[in-house]
Amino acid sequence: MYEILVRPCGDYATNCYIVKHELGDIVIDPGKGALSFIKENSSKVLAILNTHGHHDHIWDNKLVAQEFNALLYTPKDDIFMLKNPFYGFLPSDDIAIAVEDKEELVFNGLKFTFHHFAGHTPGCSMIEFDDVYFSGDFLFERSIGRWDFEFSNADDMVNSLEKAKNLKDDFYLLPGHGNQTKVSLEKPHFDSWIRYIKQC
């Protein structure tokens, strides 16, 4: 059995998730200050997974990896974002393992599958686990990720929203910010978002 813990971290209240399992835990998106949350709730971190490379999601990558001797996995097209020291985080591109679209990672029987949904960032991904998508900054409750940042791309976001129409309706969405929701509740809004992006 497992349980999923969450705590908003840092200036942008970025959700850090811990998938707790008796044989070891998986951390998803350790933002600024996440290390203390993780140490309070875990004694054995097997791996760190990044949904994408924005600084508020990867800030404590290196600290967590060093504390627990854990492996770090990042979408391949966002690894370059892990080496920019401008924001003040410890670069972690040197320890990141590149993950491809649809790549499966298995830790003690727990399977995590990366699904590429570019637009917010080049490598922006959702991570499938059991009946959950950790949606990062692609999908939120009644909203989607911004496509006007550096390295964002509106055309990619449109294509990703079209692709997302094939997501499993009964899955939960655990986003990078805000409250959890369900795919079935967000799909009806995809076409409106697509039209809005095209008009911008």
Task: Dump pLDDT digits (tens) for 105-134.
Answer: 999 999 999 999 999 999 999 999 999 999
- pLDDT tens for 137-174 read 999 999 999 999 999 999 999 999 999 999 999 999 99
Tell me the CATH number at 101.
3.60.15.10
Alpha helices in the chain (DSSP H): 34-41, 55-58, 61-68, 154-164, 183-186, 190-199
Domains in the chain: how many in total? 1
- Domain extent at residue 147: 2-199
Q: Which residue has the tokens 């942008």?
A: 12
The closest alpha carbon to 27, from 12, 38, 43, belongs to: 38
The residue with tokens 């924001």 is 87
Beta carbons of 133 and 141 less than 8 angstroms apart: no
Coil, helix or strand at residue 145: coil
Give Cβ neighbours of residue 110 (< 8 Å, ≥ 6 apart): 2, 19, 21, 26, 129
Mean pLDDT over residues 79-89, rounded? 87
